[in-house]
A and B are shown apart, each in its own frame.
Chain A
Amino acid sequence: MRVAVTGLGVVSAFGVGAAALRLALQEGRGGLSPVRHFDTSPYPSRLAGSVPGFDGGPQRKNAAFEFAVRAGTEALAQARPRGSVALVLGTSIGVTDGTHHALAERLAGALGLTGPVIAITTACCSSNNALGLGAELLEAGDVDAVLAGGTDQITEEMFAGFSMLGALSAGPCAPFSLPTGTTLGEGAGFVVLERAGEAAARGARTLSWVLGEALSCDAMHEVAPDATGRGVARCVGSALHQAQVAPAAVDYVNAHGTGTAHNDAAEWKGLTTALGRDSVLVSSTKGTLGHAQGAAGVLEIIASLLCLEDGRVPSTQNFAGPRNRCPGDPVGQATPRAATVQRWVATNSAFWGANASLVFSTQEVPTAPAARVRPRIVVAGFGSAAGTAELQRTLPRVDLSALDLPSRLVTCAVAEALGGLGPVVKGELREGLGLFLGAVAPSRDARTRFDASIEERGMAKLSAEAFTRMVTSAIGGACARLLGLRGPFTTLTSGFGSGLVALACAARYLELHDDVRGVVVASVDEREEPGATGRACAVLLAREGALPVTGPLLEVCLAGAGHLAQALAALGAPPPASTDDASVSGSLERLGGVLQALRSSGGSRVVGQSLGATSCAVRLTCSPENP
């Protein structure tokens, strides 16, 4: 992968703009200050990395959007990309104003972007995940340029949730040091990504190069990471593999480093495993910026890019000596440290065990010599689930008891799609199978319990359990954990088109990662009325020949809003008559129908969808060897 970063924009604890952040970092200033827009007295911490100037009023309510408009505008102004620009936005629980994809579509409108619009929500690694997906869309040739990044805002709900989880530090966040615990942050960051060759050809200034990216899932616990660090190691290892960068060649790691006891030790274990050595230049900017949730990854990448331009790496502020099982010298000082860095890694981890890693280069890298043959992707299984009753009977050996309805539905559909591989994935397959979920909101049960707990006991004592499910990625997270899916894991939200968009993105991921065998793509609808049910669908995609099951060949094409005809034409199909279907799982369900029809008739069929801001076309072909 050779993707150029040609622009960046940021809103952080140091205010609007990259210049403000750069100066603060250079001067070794801290960004954590007492929160002013709500009363912090019920909580163990008063501190956060709040964006100055957004302390109250109507601006506060839409802060995540306001941050994003400013950061996106700055990035686009610097890069001035040509052609149709896609938006890949990562965001998490701070966004309470409508759904994530609504925010993404509003942002694309405000910034005048005409390419596909995709929102990603994998909690604390959302924005890192967004950069990776953006790079894939470029590498696959789907788009001309991508504005990728994330935005999130501090809310009292978030503060209370972290407080009830016991994850807030009493002092300022001290990654890899003491006291343990994190400090929250907020802001937005965006980068403009383009194919390296095209950026160079149009004379754009390239700030850095993305060489690789990967996702993985611990599939262990809702909040605690796998203490063995295997999930992090697999993620970083996969990104390095894709980047064709040897572990020994990594000069610097910008770690997630939240400051919590569980994260820092597990992450450090994972990093040293992936890199095959006991030490590496590593730091975390959480002590400077706070933990900005959905925006954390991209803020940290931008902080790193700004320091690296000066030949330095960011420091880990508030460091007061190493903690057990953590790096001894994580650049524990106020100001950045001079270092020679060519290849570096940025990694983040999140609730429900999601991990996302990126590999960057500070210097141009010659294009990989061998022209890659795009591997063929097959649809190797399909499953669906509806209603509430009798779900346990379909999976007698899997404990569905603790799952909320959408997780239950997804788990049953995914298990059916896995079919011949066994409902619970075993052995080496676990590491090589992932889950991409299309969904639009957290479960109804999570929202009900969350709201009820606030109503009954007050904000400061809200239900921590419900809080962990207020991230939309909880739906897939519970499924991945139960079924043992430890490969790439993400949740995409593009409104009613989420299912098909997730399918397209999963296909791209598989094409670009030869260490992954398959991805189950699922989508779920939960009816809003009390007592009502829902439905879920799942499709197993596989790299051709990588799994002992197979099926029709899959081709996908993504385009911007209103460009369905163009997407269909790319696959050689005529414009559609009507493609509307007002449900998230509808698109995958239709695909299931097509699969069935193909099984009897053979041949080739195209399914298209243009709902929300993304058009997506999919072609399924039965070849003689793939009946």
Chain B
Amino acid sequence: MSLELELQTLRTRVGLVENRHLEVFRVEGARAFEAVDDAVPQRLFLQDAQITQTLLLADDATIVADLQIARDDEAFFLLCEARPGLSAEALLRERLGTNEVTVQPLSATHAVWSVHGPWAWELLGEALGQEIVGQPYLSLQHVAGVTCFRGGKTGEFGYDLLVPRAEVEPTITRLRELGVRYELGPLSLEALDHAALENWFFSVRFDALWPYTPVELQLQWRLWHEKHAYRGASAVAQQQAGGAARRLTVLHADAPMVAQAPVMLEGERIGHVLRSARHSLGKGHVAWAMLDAPVAMAGLRVQAGDVAARTVSPPTVQNESLGIDPNKHSFRYGRRVG
């Protein structure tokens, strides 16, 4: 299936994908909180079933993994996407230590299937139970034998289902059967990353971002300033104290922009393009660029290589999901938005 079709599915209906790149670990033990808290840069004040988003850093504060932490009573689920070529398990074990907690990788016993799109909630509500519909953003829920994490990095409703291997076949078959009513389609990792770019979600697979830090990538919200013990903390603190010289900024243009192309403002070079993509709803082209901090702001006319572009405030998609009220709307019964 073409990327275009997948993005159509993702932006207007529901898509399903086995999410092999997302590795799930369960951390248990009397000192699970302390172990996880000491290992990660984000503060860990989570209510039961809440999820927080953070990162794992190298000593120079570059990003080695994208990490979500979900509290499940006294234990934690860690949903980790490591930079390609790195082992999520090794990164976590190294940071958690193993003295007082058990770190259980769940990939041997479970698969992760993800459901994304403006009507994902309705399909899952029908397939797994209506409690899915009321599930808050960034929370987990145990329902119908699976653990459902609501999050997603596409701007649409997104759910990662942790399914025991033995239950995968019946669960996915049921989703596909019921999915016919929702015009359920397959998704690829490429489509998810494309949507992430448009919707201003970091992806650890964007190799052009690897040389940069959370301060430059506008990911300071995934860190907590009162934490000093995690790996990379001193490099972060140093950069925050001095102020970053450059900052990730989003460009929009009618024509395609090219990675590495210089970005010029009134004839002066202010940075370069990191990654570019065609807008999935046919609205031109979107790029992420690293610009000099003083001019890294939306609302400027610039040149990205040969292309006239403007700096914009992300996200660059007005997601259909934002307009959906599950109390009123329904794909199945034809009560669409608008």
Contact = CB atoms under 8 A, between A and B. Distances in A.
A426 B73 CA distance: 7
B190 interface: no
Interface stretch (A261-269, A309-317, A487-495, A505-513): A261-269
B48 A484 contact: yes
B127 to A, nearest CB: 15
Contacts of B48: 430, 484
B328 A178 contact: yes
Nearest to B134: A227
A324 B330 contact: yes
Interface in B1-39: 33-34, 37
B327 A265 contact: yes
A227 B121 CA distance: 14
B313 interface: no
A227 B47 CA distance: 14
Contacts of A220: 47
Contacts of B135: 227-228
A427 B325 CA distance: 34
B130 A325 contact: yes
A219 B43 CA distance: 20
Contact of A427 (B73, B130, B330): B73
A265 B325 CA distance: 13
Given A227-B136, A269-B130, A324-B327, A481 B74 contact: no
Nearest to B335: A324
Nearest to B130: A325
Contacts of B328: 178, 324
B45 interface: yes
Interface in B22-76: 33-34, 37, 43-45, 47-48, 73-74
A227 B133 CA distance: 9
Nearest to B48: A484
A323 interface: yes
Q: Which of A229, A265, A481 has the most CB of B within 10 A?
A: A265
A376 B206 CA distance: 63
A397 B37 contact: yes
Interface in A386-436: 397-399, 426-427, 430
Interface string A155-179: 0000000000000000000000010
A261 B327 contact: yes
Nearest to B44: A397
Nearest to A225: B134
Contacts of A180: 327
A265 B33 CA distance: 33
A324 B329 CA distance: 9
A279 to B, nearest CB: 13
Contact of B74 (A265, A324, A398, A427): A427
Contacts, number: 50
Interface string A261-300: 1000110010000000000000000000000000000000
B133 A324 contact: yes
Contacts of A265: 133-134, 327
Contacts of B33: 397
B323 interface: no
Contact of A426 (B45, B74, B134, B325): B74
B326 interface: yes
Interface in B295-334: 325-328, 330
A378 B136 CA distance: 39
B131 interface: yes
Nearest to B135: A227
A430 B71 CA distance: 14
Q: Which of B133, B135, B330 has the most CB of A within 10 A?
A: B133
Interface string B139-155: 00100000000000000
Contact of B141 (A228, A261, A266, A399): A228
A261 B43 contact: no
A510 B136 CA distance: 33
Contacts of A269: 130-131, 134
B121 to A, nearest CB: 10
Nearest to B139: A227
Nearest to B74: A426
A228 B45 contact: no
A480 B180 CA distance: 44
A266 B134 contact: yes
Interface in A311-363: 323-325
Contacts of B130: 269, 325
Contact of A324 (B73, B131, B326): B326
A219 B325 CA distance: 25
Contacts of A427: 73-74
A169 B243 CA distance: 47
Nearest to B34: A397
A325 B133 CA distance: 8
A227 B50 CA distance: 13
B146 to A, nearest CB: 15
Nearest to A268: B130
Contact of A325 (B43, B74, B134): B134
A221 to B, nearest CB: 9
A565 to B, nearest CB: 47
Nearest to A265: B134
B135 to A, nearest CB: 6
Interface string A232-257: 00000000000000000000000000
A399 B330 contact: no
Contacts of A484: 47-48
Given A398-B45, A427-B73, A484-B48, 9 more contacts: A180-B327, A228-B141, A229-B131, A324-B327, A397-B37, A399-B43, A399-B45, A426-B74, A427-B74
Interface of B: 33-34, 37, 43-45, 47-48, 73-74, 130-131, 133-136, 141, 325-328, 330
19 contacts: A178-B327, A219-B47, A227-B131, A227-B134, A228-B141, A229-B131, A261-B327, A265-B133, A265-B327, A269-B130, A323-B327, A324-B133, A325-B327, A397-B44, A426-B73, A426-B74, A430-B48, A481-B47, A484-B48
